[in-house]
Amino acid sequence: MSRKNLTVAGLMTAAFTVILLTFLLRPAEEAKLKQAALPPVPGPPQEKTMKKTSLVQDVSATDRLNRTDVSRHLRTMLAETHGAAPRDISAYAKRLQQGHGHITMLMWIDYRTHKTSTFKSSLPEGTDQENKQLLKYLNMAKSAIKGHQSYESPSFIIGDKKYYFMAQRDQEGHIGVIALISQNILERVADHQLKNLRLIPYPKEGKYRVESVHADTLKDITVKTGHDNENASHFYENEIVVRFKNGHPTPGQLQTISADIRCKQPRKLGYAYIFRSDKLNYSQLKTYFAYKWSPEYTEPHYMYLTNDTSYENTGTGAVTPNDLLFSTYQWNLPAIETEQGWNLSKGSNEVIVAVVDTGVQASHPDLQGQLLAGYNAISSGSAPDDDVGHGTHVAGIIGAITNNEEGVAGISWYNKILPVKALDNSGAGTTYSVAEGIIWAADNGAKVINLSLGNYADSQFLHDAIKYAYDRDVVIVSAAGNDNTERPGYPAAYEEVLAVAATNSAGERASFSNYGDYIDVAAPGESIASTYPDNQYAALSGTSMASPHVAALAGLIRSLNPALTNNEVMELMTANAVDLGEAGHDKYYGWGQVDIYKTLRAAGGSDVPLQLFPQHVGQQLKSMREKADTAH
């Protein structure tokens, strides 16, 4: 018998033995008590009410995060400028306000010299009544710190903007500082979440010549309400995606097409081309290509939208980080056993997690050193900066600096984040930009890709990009969507992708979360605190927030055990999830809510875990057969 045949026989014997032992030695599992039947899925009116409640909750939570963060900055300023010269105090205040634009005014009071210094001294002006209220709260702040008390005013409105005052005094009682804080972040979060919770039509038809079709029938549909989004797939009316049967057309054929449909040079990505016509709509373009070129497939150039919504120690025990907002606001990390999991893996800078999204704010103090250079698929050659907030929030869930006494704790301490901007400043992107972002990430070292975006159209073009990354051993994780519908969303529903639903702090399905047989796992997605542009923090809700929890876990697993394939990583996460809802797989939670500690413990070290060994052997056999076939 040849050495190759002996090896194959040995592997097959080992596989059979392990399978037999796995079944014989498996401990008897206790029968699970089924939870009470889930309440009926809410209809449009109830769903809208619940989403509005979520939005209000997120805005309120963001307000609390903001106030906690500002209070820390004022205390730090008092401590770090203790005994400093006026010039140094002024320089410190200038740096603080440059990095935190929401600190509109700083007033420094020295009670020893009775001198007051004001930085950015002009106060906002409104009506007489509004100005009177502002001065009332300013005087209350002065009175409080004079009496050695800290102070925090309610929010008040000047013009169309919202503000509040905060005041602190140093421990010795010599110095007091008062800050006027702009609350523009609350308006941004509310506006963001109106779209991402689909409380309003999004994107607006007529912008960028966008049309919509019913995802099942492909018949025209007009999106008049936020609820209509669950049936709608948006696309560009004058564009078409084409994959030709015989590979790529010749330059002469492309010139003929350009003349026929009156278009400029098409965009090419992988096997497909995108043509934009100056005279034909999608229906006419589809007829033209089908009649004259007989392509392998044609489809609309779909748009993909963000899937988020907005709210208000080492050893064997749990690792509790000292990040300012962790204990009070980050309920989501203990819920999935993150602290215990950190004893097994905190990540590795060798394992890259890509965030294909709206970009990331590279200068955020809680993301310093965590980000790689990245890529901009919207504006070639530009940095992948975040002009929406969504990508920065997603990145912070994965890898905000942990244990730095600032802001939030990320799930991974050391995995590098690769920001890929594939969604524009409206929070929407095209099939091309998303596919380009996925392919670029796969080609540039990503071992995990997070996709907190989606649409209801099954795009072969996008699926090609997903397969491209999957074939290169990338773990792909995607958000299920926020329309409270059973309709499969893409890319989450592709078999190569781990689809993630959202849960709340009670371990129940979030009211907005999509569901269906394609759901693989669930993760926290309601009122999740994370990084936000302008060096701030916000609480957002959505499956967009659930997905990066799972992507971060994939990064920890691949850091702990690099020998595992992408499929084995996915199987570990589903096999070790905490079962919720009906026993086993169900359409609301998939296999259950991810458990970081349990999964990392199963992942082990350098060896393949016992429960995955049969599959691992099978993959080795398949690889050997393919090599043997190639050799012959």
Residues annotated as part of the active site? 357, 390, 544
Distance, CA of 228 to CA of 248 (rounded, Å): 38
By DSSP bridging, strand 309-311 and strand 536-541 are antiparallel
Task: Determine the residue type at 202.
Answer: Y
- Helices 44-80 and 86-99 meet at what angle, rounded to 10? 160
Terminus-to-terminus CA distance in the chain, angstroms?
18
Query: Which two structure tokens, joined as six digits, stand for 103?
Result: 């600190």
- Helices 596-603 and 543-560 meet at what angle, rounded to 10? 30
Residue 50 and residue 511 in contact, taking contact as beta carbons nearer than 8 Å: yes
Preceding omega of 203 cis (within 30 degrees of 0): yes
Task: Determine the residue type at 545.
Answer: M
Radius of gyration for the chain, computed over Cα atoms and rounded to the nearest angstrom: 27
Helix H, strand E, coil C: the string for 373-439 is CCEECCCCCCCCCCCCCHHHHHHHHHHCCCCCCCCCCCCCCCCEEEEEECCCCCCEEEHHHHHHHHH
Query: How far does CA 580 lie from the centroid of its chain?
Result: 23
Phi, psi of 177 (to 5 degrees): -135, 135
- Nearest in space to 14 (alpha carbons), one of 632, 620, 628, 624: 620
